[in-house]
């Protein structure tokens, strides 16, 4: 009976996943768009102290360490950029993607345009939905967070971070689009560098912000489909032509 129950539960999960994927394909039917179904994860930390230290270190031109240590750190080392965990890992920027995929099991999609389908939007805050997006020779980290910025009033925050330097981030523009029931909402901005703290970007409001009622207008049975597109900035393109 135990074996049967476990197998039956696995089959139901697979059916649910396929159903969510079908709904996203139905909403975003444009050819070439890839759909990634992202399950929620409750955030295991809120590192306000770490973010404050990270912001101060960035202003001084030094990359922040993950934790406070008396030993001198190599300024080229980057702390773990996954916003879900207080991870003690440090490494060079070029191996951040490998760490996120292998240690934190974050999925990655490739393509100019993808669909990010966040499930179970009704779960209490704080909750995160995260994927990586590989495009134009770079990797980006999309973070959708449900968080109570004001007590009793949860909001949804979506931002795109480039796994690279701030100079590289300025070369790109990302667009997040919600489209359902003859309603369309777009957010377009320059991605922030992963060297900046995700929490500080969200607290500053420099991202797509949805209150609960607005999120419900675009959700479908508790799932929110977000279309993602990344392009090179116009300034960068004109410089390349010159």
What is the pLDDT of the chain when averaged over all its residues?
77
Cα distance between residue 211 and residue 123, in whole Å? 14
Q: What is the 3-state secondary structure (H, E, C) of 132-199?
A: EEEECCEEEEEEEEEEEEECCEEEEEEEEEECCCHHHHCCEEEEEEEEECCEEEEEEECCEECCCCHH
CA–CA gap between residue 193 and residue 162 (Å, rounded): 5
The whole-angstrom separation of Cα 88 and Cα 80 is 7
> Minimum mean pLDDT among 6-20, 82-96, 131-145: which range?
6-20
- Give me 132's structure tokens: 């990586």
pLDDT in tens, 8-51: 555 555 554 455 545 544 444 443 467 888 888 876 554 444 44
Residues 6+ apart with CB under 8 A from 230: 112, 133, 135, 136, 140, 160, 172, 173, 174, 175, 191
Strand partners, 185: 178
Q: Compute the distance between CA of residue 139 and CA of residue 162 in angstroms, rounded to an integer.
A: 6
d(CA 176, CA 156): 13
Q: Are 181 and 199 in contact (CB under 8 A)?
A: no
The pTM (predicted TM-score) of the whole model is: 0.72
pLDDT-derived band at 225 (thresholds 50, 70, 90) equals very high
Pick the more confident residue, 63 or 235.
235
pLDDT of 154 reads: 94
pLDDT, tens only, 57-67:
444 444 444 34
Q: How many H-runs (helices) and E-runs (strands) does the chain carry? A: 7, 15
- Domains, the chain, with CATH or none: 31-42+74-232 (2.60.210.10)
Mean pLDDT score, 118-130: 92
The two structure tokens encoding residue 129: 């939905």
Looking at residue 160, its pLDDT comes to: 95
Question: Rounded to whole angstroms, how far apart are CA atoms 79 and 85?
Answer: 11
- Distance (Å, rounded) from C-alpha 66 to C-alpha 68? 7
Q: pLDDT digits over 160-208, tens only?
A: 999 999 999 999 999 999 999 899 999 999 999 988 888 889 888 999 9
Residue linked to tokens 């490739």: 110
Q: What is residue 71's predicted lDDT score, i.e. its pLDDT?
A: 39
CA distance 143 to 174: 13
Assigned token pair, 182: 């003859």
| pLDDT for res 211 | 94
* Per-residue confidence band for 69, with pLDDT thresholds at 50, 70 and 90: very low
Can you read off the two tokens belonging to residue 101? 């995929």
Gap between the Cα atoms of 10 and 157, Å rounded:
31
């Amino acid at each position: 009976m135990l074996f049967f129950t476990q197998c039956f539960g696995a089959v139901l999960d697979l059916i649910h996943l396929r159903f969510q994927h079908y709904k996203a394909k139905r909403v975003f039917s444009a050819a070439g768009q890839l759909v990634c179904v992202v399950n929620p994860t409750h955030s295991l930390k809120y590192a306000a102290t770490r973010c404050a230290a990270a912001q101060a270190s960035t202003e001084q031109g030094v990359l922040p360490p993950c934790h406070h240590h008396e030993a001198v750190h190599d300024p080229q080392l980057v702390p773990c950029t996954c916003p879900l965990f207080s991870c003690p890992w440090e490494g060079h920027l070029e191996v951040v993607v490998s760490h996120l995929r292998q240690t934190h099991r974050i999925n990655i999609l490739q393509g100019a345009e993808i669909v990010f389908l966040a499930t179970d939007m009704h779960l209490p805050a704080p909750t995160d939905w995260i994927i990586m997006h590989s495009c134009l020779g770079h990797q980006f980290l999309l973070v959708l967070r449900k968080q109570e910025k004001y007590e009793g009033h949860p909001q949804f925050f979506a931002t795109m971070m480039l796994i690279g330097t701030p100079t590289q981030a300025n070369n790109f523009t990302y667009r997040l689009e919600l489209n359902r029931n003859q309603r369309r909402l777009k957010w377009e901005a320059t991605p922030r560098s992963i060297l900046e703290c995700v929490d500080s970007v969200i607290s500053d409001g420099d991202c797509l912000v949805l209150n609960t009622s607005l999120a419900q207008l675009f959700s479908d049975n508790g799932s929110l489909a977000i279309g993602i597109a990344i392009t090179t900035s116009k300034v960068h393109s004109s410089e390349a032509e010159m």
